[in-house]
Chains A and B, each alone.
Chain A
Amino acid sequence: MKQWPENITSKPIAYIENKDTYTLQAETLISMLTRLRGKQKQSIIFLDINNNESRATANEIKTEATFIAQYLKRQGLEKNDKVIIMLPTSFDFVRSFFGVLMAGGVPVPIAPPFGSKGIENYLNNLEHIVADCEARFLITFDQIKMFVNDSIKISKLLQEILFINEMTKKTVPADEFQVLPEIKAEDLALIQYTSGTTGKPKGVMLTHRNLLHNIHGIGVAARVTENDIGLSWLPLYHDMGLIGSLLGSLYWDFILIAMVPEAFLLNPSLWLENMTKYQVTISPAPNFAYNYCVSRIPDNKLTNIDLSNWRLAFNAAEPIDSKTLQRFIEKFSSCGLKNDTVFFPGYGMAENSLAATFVPISRETTIVQYFKRDGIESRNVAVAATNTAEDNAVSLVSVGYPLVGQAVQIVDEKGKIRCEGEIGEILVKSPSLFIGYYRNQEETENAFVDGWLRTGDLGFIHGRMLFVNGRRKEMIIKQGRNIYPYDMERIAASVEGIRKGCVAAFGVQNYMSGTEDLILLCETPLSDSTTKEELVRKVRAAIWENLRIVPDDVNLIPKGAIPKTSSGKIQRSLCRKMYIDLNKELRAEI
């Protein structure tokens, strides 16, 4: 069995392209569903919070989506109108998503609120998205009626808030059906909201062709077949959950078990027990989830788990830690987990639909390679360490090579292509690339250079494989979400009592949780401990209000304590080191 696609080309320059030929199996997401319609097999098995099953065939999805489409048409929905979908993982989400598409609308999925916690800030963010994408309708569920109905501003921006249970009760009679618009490959199919450098989320516009190209590429790389069985607890408003899992399973026509994320978070063993029950072969999760299983699943539950069918554990959305993978394998090897080849690390971003690269599926081991630390950290060059035990070697997990039709190159700060082994910014070019940020020409122009997407990530190519080893913008990735330090620093500095321009935000890898902790160092002239406690609360509240994320740790430090360059720039890496050193002592005392 070949390890590489035949047409991977590689040059001494840092450029890799996958030129394998491919043919998409559908032109649009609608035709993808229609293609499956004649088949009566179960397409999706939904599991609710109590792990109760409900099943849906592609036929049922199409039929129910038609009713939603007709309902929306009756309400006046026109081609390209944006419809926000705020629903949990459920059949309701799926029929609404396809219903909006069939009616010619553009779905904009967003997370439902997390109970009543920070509801005001949630609504502020929602208001921004509703206004930014010029949404005409919002589809949601009864339980949050009181939250959205209370928001007069949101109600004013929308034509109507639609409740899914009412929509399904008031279906349009078949004799009143309107002609649904023709949907083309280049039509908008999705707007994904992602965090931006200005603090306000930006709408990533993706067409049917973008999405299908990406889904096709992932399936080819993963050698997906109809015989696979997928399981995902990733939320459907998240690209890995929606594109990678839901749409991927329908495109490749394999059964998907869709768990609600809360079920996994409350009881992580349920993920693996369901994999056992349904003999799952493919299941994705970000790095932190593997760590979570190691720390939260007690050994006495291992006897209920059989992972021998699991052939692909997609691992993306946040930096992949080889130690996490090793711990997971050690813990679950007695449950039939094959070996580390089950892990399928990848690299991607919302602007490229989802994925840009994945590791080769047939290989002897996870692609962990060791590099000399001084080269990586000081000289911007990746030099392979002669042996794995070499002192100070840095271990990195490769994210593989581009998916079909995609290319990756590494450039220096001036945009000049680098050579293999040299570290620089990763650029991606592919038919999966978004068509721009909605109503944001400036950010769209900044995102591209000569048709290549500037990812802002640092990496290098070694042995025809891509390695990611940092982020140019010092972006922090927490549980799959991108956060820009500048945003947090600006907001923290706006709080009275914090010195302007004297805040440092950075991420610190937490090996216990498998994700990054968000840390803030803020200079203050205040010394009274009660006032300082109040100040920490205010900083947290301000960041929560603006970014809907809270720093894990806010440290107030005296004037002049933040290291800066001679030109006055904050030295975040030094701040990080300072924090880690201080924290080691503190943790040692506990």
Chain B
Amino acid sequence: MEAIAKNRIEEDIYKIILQLSVSKKIKFDYELKFIEDLGFSSLKIMEMVSVVAELYGFEPILEEIMVLNTIGDLIQYLEQALPLVESEIFLEGRKAV
């Protein structure tokens, strides 16, 4: 699995949520709840995790997903599950080397 820049995750998650959400007027916030605030059904939450898992190439564990309630929870979960580098700039620098 390739290292991912920490600041990329947030950007990717916002893009995915926007893509899946019917409303395009989302003011992103780590505290936003998937069900109550974003209007996601349990099926849509699974779809979101599926898209994220495919993007980063990892296999999510169901029990861990079930307790993710907010955008912040998801980002924190990914930061723990994925090999990270500090920032995109560092990643680009490493690639250049």
Interface residues of A (CB under 8 A from B): 49, 114-118, 143, 262, 265-268, 288, 292, 296, 298, 478-479, 510, 517-519, 533, 537, 540-541, 544, 549-555, 586-587, 590
Asked if B57 CB lies within 8 Å of chain A CBs, one says: no
Asked if B76 CB lies within 8 Å of chain A CBs, one says: no
Given A115-B67, A118-B35, A266-B49, residue A550 in contact with residue B22 (CB < 8 A): no
A544 touches B62 (CB 8 A): no
B24 touches A550 (CB 8 A): no
A114 touches B36 (CB 8 A): no
B37 touches A552 (CB 8 A): no
Would you mind naming 12 contact pairs between A and B with Cβ atoms under 8 Å apart? A114-B45, A115-B67, A262-B46, A266-B46, A267-B50, A296-B47, A533-B27, A544-B35, A550-B40, A553-B22, A555-B23, A587-B24
B69 touches A540 (CB 8 A): no
Asked if B65 CB lies within 8 Å of chain A CBs, one says: yes
Closest approach, in angstroms, between the C-beta of B45 and any C-beta of chain A? 8
Interface set, chain B 28-74, CB cutoff 8 A to A = 33-37, 39-43, 45-47, 49-51, 53-54, 60, 62-63, 65-69
When C-beta atoms are compared, the residue in chain B nearest to A262 turns out to be B62
In the bound complex, residues from chain A placing their C-beta under 8 Å from that of B24 are: 586-587, 590
Given A116-B66, A118-B36, A262-B62, residue A550 in contact with residue B46 (CB < 8 A): no
Majority secondary structure, A binding face: mixed
In the bound complex, residues from chain B placing their C-beta under 8 Å from that of A537 are: 36-37
A114 touches B67 (CB 8 A): no
When C-beta atoms are compared, the residue in chain B nearest to A298 turns out to be B54
> Could you tell me the distance between the alpha carbons of A143 and B45 in the complex, rounded to whole angstroms?
20
In the bound complex, residues from chain B placing their C-beta under 8 Å from that of A479 are: 41, 43
When C-beta atoms are compared, the residue in chain B nearest to A530 turns out to be B27
> Could you tell me the distance between the alpha carbons of A407 and B21 in the complex, rounded to whole angstroms?
41
In the bound complex, residues from chain A placing their C-beta under 8 Å from that of B49 are: 266
Majority secondary structure, B binding face: loop
A296 touches B62 (CB 8 A): no
> Could you tell me the distance between the alpha carbons of A533 and B23 in the complex, rounded to whole angstroms?
13
Other than A292-B47, A552-B39, give 6 A-B pairs with Cβ distance below 8 A: A117-B33, A118-B36, A537-B37, A544-B36, A550-B35, A553-B23
When C-beta atoms are compared, the residue in chain A nearest to B32 turns out to be A537
A517 touches B34 (CB 8 A): no
In the bound complex, residues from chain A placing their C-beta under 8 Å from that of B54 are: 296, 298
Closest approach, in angstroms, between the C-beta of A150 and any C-beta of chain B? 16
Closest approach, in angstroms, between the C-beta of B49 and any C-beta of chain A? 6
B41 touches A266 (CB 8 A): no
In the bound complex, residues from chain B placing their C-beta under 8 Å from that of A590 are: 18, 24
In the bound complex, residues from chain A placing their C-beta under 8 Å from that of B27 are: 533
> Could you tell me the distance between the alpha carbons of A64 and B34 in the complex, rounded to whole angstroms?
40
In the bound complex, residues from chain A placing their C-beta under 8 Å from that of B47 are: 265, 292, 296
> Could you tell me the distance between the alpha carbons of A526 and B18 in the complex, rounded to whole angstroms?
26
When C-beta atoms are compared, the residue in chain A nearest to B61 turns out to be A49
B66 touches A114 (CB 8 A): yes
B62 touches A540 (CB 8 A): no
> Could you tell me the distance between the alpha carbons of A288 and B46 in the complex, rounded to whole angstroms?
14
Closest approach, in angstroms, between the C-beta of B57 and any C-beta of chain A? 12
In the bound complex, residues from chain B placing their C-beta under 8 Å from that of A478 are: 41
Please tell me which one of the listed residues B25, B39, B46 contacts residue A265 in the complex, with CB atoms under 8 A apart.
B46
Which of B21, B40, B62 counts the most chain A CB atoms within 10 A? B62
In the bound complex, residues from chain B placing their C-beta under 8 Å from that of A262 are: 46, 62
Closest approach, in angstroms, between the C-beta of B20 and any C-beta of chain A? 9
> Could you tell me the distance between the alpha carbons of A586 and B53 in the complex, rounded to whole angstroms?
29
Closest approach, in angstroms, between the C-beta of A143 and any C-beta of chain B? 8
In the bound complex, residues from chain B placing their C-beta under 8 Å from that of A267 are: 50
B22 touches A510 (CB 8 A): yes
> Could you tell me the distance between the alpha carbons of A267 and B53 in the complex, rounded to whole angstroms?
9
Given A117-B35, A117-B69, A265-B50, residue A552 in contact with residue B42 (CB < 8 A): no
> Could you tell me the distance between the alpha carbons of A117 and B36 in the complex, rounded to whole angstroms?
9
A552 touches B35 (CB 8 A): no
Given A49-B62, A116-B69, A586-B24, residue A265 in contact with residue B36 (CB < 8 A): no
Closest approach, in angstroms, between the C-beta of A373 and any C-beta of chain B? 26
In the bound complex, residues from chain A placing their C-beta under 8 Å from that of B36 are: 118, 537, 540-541, 544, 550
> Could you tell me the distance between the alpha carbons of A91 and B42 in the complex, rounded to whole angstroms?
24
> Could you tell me the distance between the alpha carbons of A114 and B60 in the complex, rounded to whole angstroms?
16
In the bound complex, residues from chain A placing their C-beta under 8 Å from that of B22 are: 510, 517, 519, 552-553
> Could you tell me the distance between the alpha carbons of A537 and B60 in the complex, rounded to whole angstroms?
29
Please tell me which one of the listed residues A116, A296, A298, A550 contacts residue B41 in the complex, with CB atoms under 8 A apart.
A550
> Could you tell me the distance between the alpha carbons of A552 and B47 in the complex, rounded to whole angstroms?
15
> Could you tell me the distance between the alpha carbons of A533 and B32 in the complex, rounded to whole angstroms?
11
In the bound complex, residues from chain B placing their C-beta under 8 Å from that of A116 are: 66-67, 69
Closest approach, in angstroms, between the C-beta of B31 and any C-beta of chain A? 10
When C-beta atoms are compared, the residue in chain B nearest to A268 turns out to be B50
Closest approach, in angstroms, between the C-beta of B48 and any C-beta of chain A? 10
When C-beta atoms are compared, the residue in chain B nearest to A115 turns out to be B66
Which of B35, B39, B51, B53 counts the most chain A CB atoms within 10 A? B39
Closest approach, in angstroms, between the C-beta of A293 and any C-beta of chain B? 12
A266 touches B39 (CB 8 A): no
A554 touches B39 (CB 8 A): yes
> Could you tell me the distance between the alpha carbons of A104 and B60 in the complex, rounded to whole angstroms?
41
In the bound complex, residues from chain B placing their C-beta under 8 Å from that of A143 are: 63
In the bound complex, residues from chain A placing their C-beta under 8 Å from that of B50 are: 265-268, 296
Given A510-B22, A553-B23, A587-B24, residue A117 in contact with residue B39 (CB < 8 A): no
> Could you tell me the distance between the alpha carbons of A267 and B66 in the complex, rounded to whole angstroms?
16
In the bound complex, residues from chain B placing their C-beta under 8 Å from that of A553 are: 22-23, 39
Closest approach, in angstroms, between the C-beta of A331 and any C-beta of chain B? 17
> Could you tell me the distance between the alpha carbons of A106 and B14 in the complex, rounded to whole angstroms?
46
Closest approach, in angstroms, between the C-beta of A387 and any C-beta of chain B? 35
